[in-house]
Structure 1
């Protein structure tokens, strides 16, 4: 019965938190945001130029080295200009006074605010990092082979230069949102069980989380109160010889800008486009070639135009070798260059598809008898028939005056290919250890960006 007059736990929590919140409001309302303006003899709507002019005039007048100078007043002038001459600090001062500048946000009203998670002032107003932007850049296999420099136009948001990101026209300043009182969030409560009340934050719908409110007539004409404008930017992306599909180039801090926010990164991801004739598989290149049965049996030569423009003439069957359907032949060191070591290359593989003659071609009994006799007899030295890929076949039509590199294609040596792959891995790991460079990312700490505002 001694506790019969005590309020229920739910009502007690509600009463306690309401008193706590009203206490916080009274503290905020008592904050002095005029003193530093008085030191410089300025009104609160003074612009940056007026603040600078007032500081230089007064500091010159009261400098301690001048006759009649006042050292204490001079220090006050310096302190006032240090805050009011810095737009982010001035914004904090106008909202929360000097304590807000020191803490980087609204003063912390009570330790219980921290314990119950109503948002510590420093955490609420700590500069957030913006989201990164990812763009895909289509790259041809020719550019992956030879290396290239690409330009990509992207659109991003930047701080409005007209209003310096305040969203207000000249001579006007945003006011503290009267719904969230500058927090950018609204605190709500709900009962989750008898005697238990949950307190949580929601995004302020009135100021869209900015903590500031601005009348339409006071909005900046260029950004219309959004604080940011759209800009088209040209990024230069360098593609090294042997770069891989999916490689990322990171432009640090070049993504969308926003007030009180550190911009994220722009990430450019390379996307390999299919080639008409070559196929890339890791460090190796593959092509397919259809040949008639006669060439498979007697030998042949054919030419291709490589990705770097060289003409390569391939010889097969000069030593009486027969090409079986589905055979895979190779030319070592004519595949993709190795990134960071372009003189080391993979292999070029040629897959052959043997085309048999139509049935009618051997319909005559005499021809079939001749073929049977030939296949069972002794071969004479047959010079290969020289062939060139025509535009209908593979498009590598040699030009007049071309000098071709001649290669004898050989069988695939599986052990040699595995050994080369292991050696390549060792070299790549060694380069990463020496340069501390991630093999997938290239990050530009500086800004190789050319901008055009439209």
Structure 2
């Protein structure tokens, strides 16, 4: 029979008018030359081919002749008017170049009939492009929960996703994919990582974007305040008065030795420069580590202890 228009449109021989429209719309969007800049010539040829197939199969009279006699039957009728060539080199049937634009206008809700005036110069793919953009669904957001260590040092995550997309016949199917995310040192809660068109997709509609939003796991030792790290250090009243040396672990596995010789009063803090979180725009720079002290007072004292304290502190106050 030569060219198999049913195969070109990916439909069965019993396809209804609605089946033809859905398949043509899907294939027209897939082979839109503007969406295939790398292989534009191939896309143009495919687009012309599916337009020719739709033109024949959507017309009851042409379809009846084609089903009975194939391309030869069309060639022997008035429908064989030369225009542009089919992508099949053996085909003598020719398709009017303006029909592609008319078909798109019909499928996507535009005006019917031949174009005239300024509109005639419009690309026959404009309707596809505009429709694809206008009906693109809202992005899908998902949390990316990160430990403070990952946000401090950076890490690579592999995220397995499942999404629903149409197959070549327009039926929905579930596919799985692994996405790689490079977590940059210093990223904060709320940072967004976008994967264009990796969300769910309905037939004839552009896929949704998939967005991962960074969230922070609570940490056992540190709290984050912007680019600073804050740690609460409990000390006894004796240590607050006499001084102490503390060891504070860091998020990259080191231990900082912090000597404190001052008397620690309410609200006292020690600030260690450049030991906080990396700054995302320049990972060579860091915020500060802030140590806040929580003085633990004894729950009770004996009379002898009270007397000793009065002797020491009271005498010191008199001086």
- Are positions 1:334 and 2:268 aligned together? no
Rg (Cα) greater in structure: 1
Aligned to 1:58: 90
Structure 1 CA distance, aligned partners of 2:153 and 2:285? 13
- Are positions 1:136 and 2:143 aligned together? yes
Matches within 5 A, 1:300-449: 300-317=244-261, 321-361=262-302, 363-364=304-305, 366-372=307-313, 375-376=316-317
TM-fit CA distance, 1:238: 1.6
- Are positions 1:165 and 2:165 aligned together? no
Aligned to 1:384: none
Checking the alignment, whether the CA contact within 8 Å between 2:106 and 2:112 is kept in structure 1 is: no
Q: Which structure 2 segments of 5+ residues have no match?
A: 1-57, 75-85, 114-126
- Are positions 1:155 and 2:162 aligned together? yes
- Are positions 1:243 and 2:247 aligned together? no
SS of aligned partner of 1:371: helix
TM-fit CA distance, 1:323: 0.7
Aligned to 2:71: 40
SS of aligned partner of 1:354: strand
Equivalenced residue count is: 231
Residues 130, 34 of structure 1: alpha-carbon distance in 2 compared, 3 angstrom cutoff:
farther
- Are positions 1:299 and 2:243 aligned together? yes
User: If the length of structure 1 is used for normalisation, what is the TM-score?
Assistant: 0.45
Residues 33, 242 of structure 1: alpha-carbon distance in 2 compared, 3 angstrom cutoff:
farther
TM-fit CA distance, 1:256: 1.0
- Are positions 1:126 and 2:131 aligned together? yes
Q: Which structure 1 segments of 5+ residues have no match?
A: 1-30, 44-53, 60-72, 84-92, 111-121, 167-226, 379-454
Checking the alignment, whether the CA contact within 8 Å between 1:100 and 1:107 is kept in structure 2 is: no
Q: Give RMSD over aligned pairs.
A: 3.4
TM-fit CA distance, 1:107: 6.4
Residues 355, 104 of structure 1: alpha-carbon distance in 2 compared, 3 angstrom cutoff:
same
Structure 2 CA distance, aligned partners of 1:311 and 1:359? 34
TM-fit CA distance, 1:138: 0.7
Structure 1 CA distance, aligned partners of 2:110 and 2:298? 90
Residues 370, 103 of structure 1: alpha-carbon distance in 2 compared, 3 angstrom cutoff:
same
TM-fit CA distance, 1:265: 0.2
Structure 2 CA distance, aligned partners of 1:129 and 1:365? 76
Q: Deviations over 1:346-377 (max 9, x none)?
A: 11111111122343245456524542466358
Checking the alignment, whether the CA contact within 8 Å between 2:105 and 2:112 is kept in structure 1 is: no
Structure 2 CA distance, aligned partners of 1:292 and 1:363? 19
Q: Deviations over 1:414-445 (max 9, x none)?
A: xxxxxxxxxxxxxxxxxxxxxxxxxxxxxxxx
Checking the alignment, whether the CA contact within 8 Å between 2:105 and 2:111 is kept in structure 1 is: no
TM-fit CA distance, 1:102: 5.8
TM-fit CA distance, 1:42: 8.8
SS of aligned partner of 1:295: helix
Structure 2 CA distance, aligned partners of 1:136 and 1:291? 38
- Are positions 1:275 and 2:279 aligned together? no
Checking the alignment, whether the CA contact within 8 Å between 2:104 and 2:110 is kept in structure 1 is: no
- Greater relative CO, 1 or 2 (CA 8 Å, sep 6+): 1
SS of aligned partner of 1:375: helix
Checking the alignment, whether the CA contact within 8 Å between 1:40 and 1:55 is kept in structure 2 is: no
TM-fit CA distance, 1:129: 1.3
Structure 2 CA distance, aligned partners of 1:107 and 1:228? 27
Checking the alignment, whether the CA contact within 8 Å between 1:40 and 1:58 is kept in structure 2 is: no
Aligned to 2:173: 229
Bigger fraction of residues in helix: 2
Checking the alignment, whether the CA contact within 8 Å between 1:284 and 1:349 is kept in structure 2 is: yes
Checking the alignment, whether the CA contact within 8 Å between 1:130 and 1:256 is kept in structure 2 is: no
Match of 2:210 among 252, 266, 280: 266
Structure 2 CA distance, aligned partners of 1:365 and 1:260? 83
Checking the alignment, whether the CA contact within 8 Å between 2:191 and 2:214 is kept in structure 1 is: yes
Checking the alignment, whether the CA contact within 8 Å between 1:326 and 1:354 is kept in structure 2 is: no
Structure 2 CA distance, aligned partners of 1:240 and 1:32? 57
Aligned to 1:114: none
Checking the alignment, whether the CA contact within 8 Å between 1:131 and 1:263 is kept in structure 2 is: no
